[in-house]
Each structure stands twice: as C-alpha cells, then as structure tokens.
Amino acid sequence: MKDIENSGDIRFLIDEFYKKVVKDDLIGHFFTRVIKLDWDKHIPVMNDFWETILLGKVKYKGNPMLKHIELNGKEPLNAEHFDRWLALWETTVTGNFSGITATEAIQRARHIADLMKYKIQQHGIK
C-alpha cells in the first residue's frame, strides 16, 4: 500500500471514511439526522481540513471545535461516539494506506478527538 501523498489521496480517504460513517449505527445519525449535513459543502471542507493537517497546504479556515460544541448542544457527544469515529477513521486509513503520513493521520485524529472530548466536557461545566 502507498502512503497518503496528495490531494487525490485525501479525497479518496475522506470519501471512504464517510461511506462508513453514514452507515454506522452509533454515529451515523449525527451526520444524517441531527445536523443533516449538506454533503456537497461538508466533504470539500473535510478535504481542506485534512490537506492542511497532513500535507501542509493551508486550505482550511474554520473552527471545528465550535462546530462540535454546537453539535453537542443538539445531541450529547460522549466518549463512545469519539471512539467509534476514531475506529472508523483508523480502519479506513490502515485499510487503504501505509506510511509516515498515514500514521500521522491516525495520531492527529486521536489528538483531535481527545481535545474535542476535553473541550466539550469543559464547555458543559458551568
């Protein structure tokens, strides 16, 4: 298997990942019913986000933390949701790629999930 090397690889990874996510019994409803994502808008944003993180192309400008805190206000996000998201991400990455950037994609996702869990928890403490 090859490593994640370019924008095409990122697009492929994101497409494969979200195919799993929308079908998932535990977290799929967040994307299909809770926020009813506009996929034509969401997918390019995710591509830009991961290109920025993994390929160093500064394309993403946004605040994913705020989006997830807002989502948590609609329906609580908990550790099992983040764990499933990570499991699906890791399965998608390792099932399609191998190398330094693929490993970084997993490490970065773990860090992002941990930070989001912490921030959501802190936001809930008044």
Each residue of 55-71: pLDDT tens digit? 998 887 777 777 777 88
pTM of the model: 0.88
Give the CATH number for residue 36: 1.10.490.10
Q: How far apart are CA 73 and CA 24, in angstroms?
A: 21
pLDDT tens per residue, range 85-125: 999 999 999 999 999 999 999 999 999 999 988 888 776 65
Residue 71 sits in which domain range?
7-124
Q: The tokens of 53 are what?
A: 């993180």
Residue 2 domain-assigned (yes or no): no
Residue 29 lies in a domain: yes
pLDDT tens track for 37-52: 888 999 999 999 999 9
What pLDDT shows up at residue 101?
Answer: 98
Angle at 90 between CA 86 and CA 91, to 5 degrees: 115
Indicate the number of domains in the chain: 1
CA–CA dist 113, 77 (Å, integer): 11
**Look-up: residue for tokens 């808008």?**
41
Residue 66: inside a domain? yes
| Nearest one of 27, 28, 121 to 69, comparing CA atoms | 121
